[in-house]
Structure 1
Amino acid sequence: MADPKEGGVVKKGHEEGLKLAVSILEEFGLPLGLLPLANVIEVGFVKTTGYMWIVQTKKVEHNFKLIKKMVSYDTEITGYVAKKKIKKLKGVKAKELMLWPPVNDITVDDPPTGKIQFKSLAGITKTFPEEAFAAGQ
């Protein structure tokens, strides 16, 4: 099995890693506040496959106030980034009542409607206003 990280650009440390993560979100038309990261150790991206990985020192729980949603980001987050979407996402969970189902796919509507969709492996799909995930939210 080939290493998905092979041929990737890697940035170490919080500042450099965060810059790379934000530039990837920008390049693919995803909301910049989608990944509220803390204490980043490493961020990597393989342009040919879209594979992205983020390693941070501790789990982050972030409350998206506009939609009253608590989201948990693991110490390692991986996924495949494409235009307006992230597929096979691992390491991100959204609180649903008492459960934390993993978020598997994120898609921004294209053409733009101002909506973004989150799908879990359990088949739960939630749609939210994209502005809820703007930088600084």
Structure 2
Amino acid sequence: MSLVTEEIKAKAEVYYGDEICQEKTKLLLKEIGLPNGLLPLRDIIECGIVMETGFVWLKQKKSITHKFEKIGKLVTYAPEVTAFVDRGGKIKKLTGVKTKELLIWVSLSDIYLNDPPTGKITFQIPSGLNRSFPCSAFEVEETKNVKQENKEDEEVKGAVGVKGV
């Protein structure tokens, strides 16, 4: 059962489609001070945020499992991921995200930055147990938009007098 009701949607900024939802997700992570690769979702069909409460949701076509190579951890993301975010680098009451610890999958409930100088991010499960990792393990190098690259290529060619063949 979805946590996102029509009443919640009526109060929210809602976006549809993978491209815009990917942009909005990365922007949100940046705004709250968390690494941009923390939510590596694919085929997002809907996302939204209720500004007054910080409630966010992401819906994707199907669940995915992602391995964060730098720390060797598997994380699975359900078709619907919800949470409350705040600008202090915190994600609270997270649903739809599990990580594999030893041989079992455990749900994550909170994600937050430790003291910023340490560069560590902490993941907590509902029982209160937690683990910290370097923020760099969840950073993804930004890639330029293909249209932007083509435009820059054209500007460079024009600036040096190169003509297309």
Superposed pair shares fold, TM > 0.5? yes
| Structure 1 unaligned residues grouped into runs of 5+ | none
Counterpart position of 1:25: 29
Give the Cα separation in 1 of the matches to 2:59 and 2:15.
11
Deviation of 1:40 after TM superposition, in Å, equals 0.3
Question: Which is richer in strand?
Answer: 1
Counterpart position of 2:53: 49
Higher relative contact order (CA 8 A, sep 6+): 1
| Structure 2 unaligned residues grouped into runs of 5+ | 142-165
Paired residues for 1:1-137 under 5 Å = 3-83=7-87, 84-136=89-141
Alignment: residue pair count = 136
Question: Which is richer in helix?
Answer: 2
Give the Cα separation in 2 of the matches to 1:96 and 1:122.
14
User: Cα gap change, 1:2/1:30 in structure 2, threshold over 3 Å: closer, same or farther?
Assistant: same
Do the aligned residues in 2 keep the contact of 1:34 with 1:134 (CA within 8 Å)? yes
Q: Looking at CA atoms only, which structure, 1 or 2, has the larger radius of gyration?
A: 2
Superposition TM-score, scaled by structure 1 size? 0.93
Percent identity between the two aligned chains: 43
Poorly superposed stretches of 4+, deviation over 4 Å: none
Superposition TM-score, scaled by structure 2 size? 0.78
Once superposed, what is the RMSD of the aligned Cα atoms? Answer: 1.6
Do the aligned residues in 2 keep the contact of 1:18 with 1:43 (CA within 8 Å)? no
